[in-house]
Structure 1
Amino acid sequence: MTSTNVYHGSCHCGDVKYQVRLTLPPTMDTDRNAKTVRIYKCNCSTCQKMGFFHCRPISLTEDFIVTSPADIKDVGDYRCFRKVNGWYFCKKCGVRTFGVGGAWEQEELDVEKWAGRESDGKTQTVWKTKPIWYKGPDMKGNQEEREVHYVSVNAVTLETGEGGVDLRKWHEDGYLIYVDCRDFSEPSMTPHAQGMY
């Protein structure tokens, strides 16, 4: 049985805060266009060095908001290779909270209503993402033109305990897959070459 809930995430010091809506359990469909949450570890050098534990919501535009800090420029942004995706981190404590490929836009949002809770109608300014158009090299060096929109929260920055997530349960229940970004082979239930558990 699936259920949809909003989970809070933050860096260690709490300066960077976000919320993500997840429908669990994920369907273990390898089709990249399947409408499912994606929970995975990747063997690319970036994710390996950062220890990034990917958790991607279904709707990148509607299921992820940043509630703090007030200005997204106050969050650190590391970009590598094609410089399309930003790997965001807290400038105070250094924790990597999420990765985004796309543009940021501010929105006044009733966060309680967005989260499916009873609301008093108050709104706050949040940051959401939207797609951008990319023209440049793909992962193999070939030229491409396409729309880019990518959102992945670092699952280790999600709040745990009551109302939070249990990463051990995700592993034990088989929610986690391993993605091969070195040789581009099919996703697996065990790490690929040079990958990590």
Structure 2
Amino acid sequence: MSETAAPKRQACPGSCHCGFTQYIVFLILPHPFSSSHPPPPHTGQEVYRCNCRTCYKMNFFHVHPAHPRDDFMLLSPLDPDRDLSTYFCCEKKRKFYFCPKCGVRCFTFSGVGETTVVDVPGEEGKREVWQAKWDGGMETRPYVSVNGTTIDAREDFDLRVLTEEKRVQYFDDRSELGEKKEERWDRPHYGGSY
């Protein structure tokens, strides 16, 4: 990844192992943030690892797009609550969706989703997709995080390079609330993984 390449928003397709779950996530590539240039709080794209027991056991490599509504399209299936298996955590507010056929966890979500008709990059005409709903009247903004290991391989998004270049944030979600350590970029917190 080159520091001189100008980052731009790109469509990144991804899927589970068997292909039943398919999506597109829009990311700024090359990933512009690092320890010397962190993302703004709750407004920028984040690539991170969490050391909580759920994320650790799943080996979930979070890729959180900047705009949950506009930057994530589920192409298949169109009703994840019906067609995908779900594991709830965070007081049953966050859903980790996984393929009922191959077991791969592609994304986690909280909020309300809906089927909409949009233009899909690389396809002619419009098609139905499932996206986070954002109507301004919701109490909290929707949350979408894609498992980076399910994004189709591409040179400008290499998890190994992101780790080596210290472009991955490491969050401490194992410690008690008042004892949590600040995020860091050089290594995981206790109980976490690279």
d(CA) in 2 for partners of 1:81, 1:107 = 27
Q: 1:172 aligns with which of 148, 164, 181?
A: 164
TM-score by length of 1: 0.82
Partner amino acid, structure 2, of 1:56: H
Partner amino acid, structure 2, of 1:150: Y
Q: 1:44 aligns with which of 43, 47, 52?
A: 52
In structure 1, what is the equivalent of residue 106 of structure 2? 97
Unaligned runs of 5+ in 1: 134-145
In structure 2, what is the equivalent of residue 187 of structure 1? 183
Report the count of equivalent residues. 178
Superposed displacement of residue 80, structure 1: 2.3
In structure 1, what is the equivalent of residue 126 of structure 2? 123
Q: 1:111 aligns with which of 96, 120, 138?
A: 120
- Residues 15-57 of structure 1 show CA distances to partners (whole Å, capped at 9, x for unaligned) of 0001000013233426423x32100100111101111000000
For residues 132 and 148 of structure 1, do their structure 2 counterparts lie closer, same or farther at Cα, with a shift above 3 Å needed?
Answer: farther
- Residues 60-81 of structure 1 show CA distances to partners (whole Å, capped at 9, x for unaligned) of 1100000011332201111024
- Where 1:9 maps in the other structure, the secondary structure is strand
Unaligned runs of 5+ in 2: 1-5
d(CA) in 1 for partners of 2:95, 2:153 = 25
Q: 2:28 aligns with which of 23, 31, 35?
A: 23
Partner amino acid, structure 2, of 1:40: Y
Q: 1:155 aligns with which of 148, 154, 177?
A: 148
Percent identity, aligned pairs only, is 38
Please identify which structure carries the higher strand content: 1
- Residues 71-98 of structure 1 show CA distances to partners (whole Å, capped at 9, x for unaligned) of 3220111102410010000000000000
**Does the 8 Å CA contact 1:132/1:148 hold for their aligned counterparts?**
no
Residue 12 (1) aligns with residue 17 (2): yes
TM-score by length of 2: 0.84
